[in-house]
């Protein structure tokens, strides 16, 4: 899938990006846009990931969630190892085309977070504190756990 | 609010970030983390923004949405100009502490997007196309519009 030309057209102008009907993602300095992944049934935010041009193109083409793993520096077919493949039911892009919201149904045991939880956002930040006054303590708000990561080899 | 020491502690380890009860955000190369902003009543994703340490600290302290505007290179109290201040009802951080999900109620006329729409995610990307075959056409899925940006001076 190494293209001789870019997979997506370049952005002609801010106006065209916002009003236009052509997908022309504005990839950042690291070559990615932000992807917010939602659960189709609960509307919960499952994770925030990153897509380079190839990951976005594969997501559109296959209807499954592909990302660029910044930590591993490689293309990442989410769930390829764990079985928790993300079946995309809706994909949206924002006004300036540097972020997508992807609504999915998760295959397998349904955990998205590598800690075994359904969602990566399992801790709440209490409001009303001054950070400069000392450490802000997080509150574990649960987050359903589908497996114990100690039992799982690999990640994906 | 220029602190002599960092507003948040540094991350000791991946394990501590994931299991720990201390807020220790992992700011990226540009000094920000990603913020996904949700509507408290509809659960809709309103916008994706970025927070530097000061914006995150101000959000926690004041309970209103503050961001770092990467395009303008300045701290951004969302709604300070337009009246659409974001009152935070819940703030969560993800496993590796480089993204937050912020649930808000929006004051004023309630538009979050500078195009006048309630949400920035007003266009859908149809699935099943090969990007390499040609431009991917976006579908306008509406998105309620609260004002005409031509009538509005300034942004915020």
A135: Cα separation from own chain's centroid: 28
Contacts of B3 in chain A (CB under 8 A): 132
Q: How confident is the model at residue A140 (pLDDT cuts 50, 70, 90)?
A: very high
For residue B64, what are its two tokens? 């209103």
Residue-level pLDDT at B67: 98
- The tally of CA atoms less than 13 A away on the side-chain side of residue B98 is 17
Q: How confident is the model at residue B143 (pLDDT cuts 50, 70, 90)?
A: confident
Q: How confident is the model at residue B154 (pLDDT cuts 50, 70, 90)?
A: very low
pLDDT over 70 (residue B3): no
Which range (A56-65, A79-88, A91-100, B1-10) has the least confidence?
Answer: B1-10
pLDDT over 50 (residue A153): no
Of A22, A42, A26, the C-alpha closest to A34 is: A26
Cα→Cα distances A135→A125, B76, B108, B153, Å: 11, 24, 33, 40
* pLDDT tens track for A5-23: 789 998 768 777 887 899 9
Residue-level pLDDT at A49: 98
For residue B35, what are its two tokens? 């913020």
Q: Is the Cβ–Cβ distance between B53 and B98 less than 8 Å?
A: no
Cα→Cα distances B93→A2, A87, B22, B56, Å: 36, 25, 11, 11
pLDDT over 90 (residue A156): no
pLDDT over 80 (residue B151): no
Secondary structure of residue B16 in the 3-state scheme: helix
Q: How confident is the model at residue B150 (pLDDT cuts 50, 70, 90)?
A: low
Cα→Cα distances A32→B57, B68, B102, B104, Å: 26, 19, 22, 27
Residue B8 burial by Cβ neighbours in a 10 Å radius (0-12, 13-18, 19+): buried
CATH architecture of B23-144: Roll (3.10)
Q: Is the Cβ–Cβ distance between A95 and A24 less than 8 Å?
A: no
* pLDDT tens track for B81-134: 889 999 999 999 999 999 999 999 999 988 999 889 999 999 999 999 999 998
Is A39 annotated to bind ligand? no
Percent of all residues in chain A with a pLDDT value above 90, rounded to a whole number:
74
pTM of the model: 0.92
Residue-level pLDDT at A150: 66
Is B35 annotated to bind ligand? no
Is A115 within 8 Å of B18 when comparing Cβ atoms?
A: yes
Residue-level pLDDT at A142: 75
Q: Is the Cβ–Cβ distance between A38 and A103 less than 8 Å?
A: yes
Of A79, A86, A77, the C-alpha closest to A40 is: A86
Residues A147, A152: Cα–Cα separation, whole Å? 8
**Three-class SS of A1-35:** CCCCCCCCCCCCCHHHHHHCCECCCCCCCCCCEEE
Residues B49, B53: Cα–Cα separation, whole Å? 13
Q: Is the Cβ–Cβ distance between B87 and B104 less than 8 Å?
A: yes
Residue-level pLDDT at A4: 61
B18: Cα separation from own chain's centroid: 22
**DSSP assignment string, A51-94:** E-HHHHHHHHHHSB-EEEETTTTEEEETTTTTS--EEEEEEEE-
Is B132 within 8 Å of A100 when comparing Cβ atoms?
A: no
pLDDT over 60 (residue A111): yes
Q: How confident is the model at residue B18 (pLDDT cuts 50, 70, 90)?
A: confident
For residue A117, what are its two tokens? 């939880």
pLDDT over 70 (residue B155): no
Domain ranges of chain A: 23-144
Of B120, B49, B19, the C-alpha closest to A48 is: B49
pLDDT over 50 (residue A118): yes
CB atoms within 10 A of CB A139: 12
Q: Which residue in chain B is spatially nearest to A88 when comparing CA positions? A: B127
Residue-level pLDDT at A42: 93
Residue-level pLDDT at A13: 81
Of B139, B67, B141, the C-alpha closest to B100 is: B67
CA of A85, closest CA in chain B: separation in Å? 16
In this prediction, residues B48-65 reach a mean pLDDT of 98
Is A90 annotated to bind ligand? no
CA of B122, closest CA in chain A: separation in Å? 7
**How large is the ipTM?**
0.91
More confident residue, A32 or B150: A32
């Amino acid at each position: 899938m190494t293209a001789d030309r870019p997979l997506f057209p370049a952005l002609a102008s801010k106006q065209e990006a916002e009003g236009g009907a052509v997908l022309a993602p504005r990839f950042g300095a690291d070559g990615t846009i932000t992807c917010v992944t939602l659960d189709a049934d609960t509307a919960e935010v499952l994770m925030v990931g990153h897509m380079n041009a190839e990951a976005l193109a594969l997501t559109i083409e296959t209807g499954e969630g592909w990302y660029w793993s910044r930590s591993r520096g490689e293309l990442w077919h989410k769930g390829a190892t764990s079985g928790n493949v993300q079946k995309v039911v809706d994909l949206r892009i924002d006004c300036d085309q540097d972020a997508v919201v992807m609504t999915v149904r998760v295959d397998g045991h349904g955990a998205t977070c590598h800690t075994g939880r359904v969602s990566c956002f399992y801790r709440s930040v209490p409001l009303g504190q001054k950070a400069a006054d000392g450490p802000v303590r997080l509150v574990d708000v649960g987050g359903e756990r589908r497996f114990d990561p100690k039992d799982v080899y690999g990640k994906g």
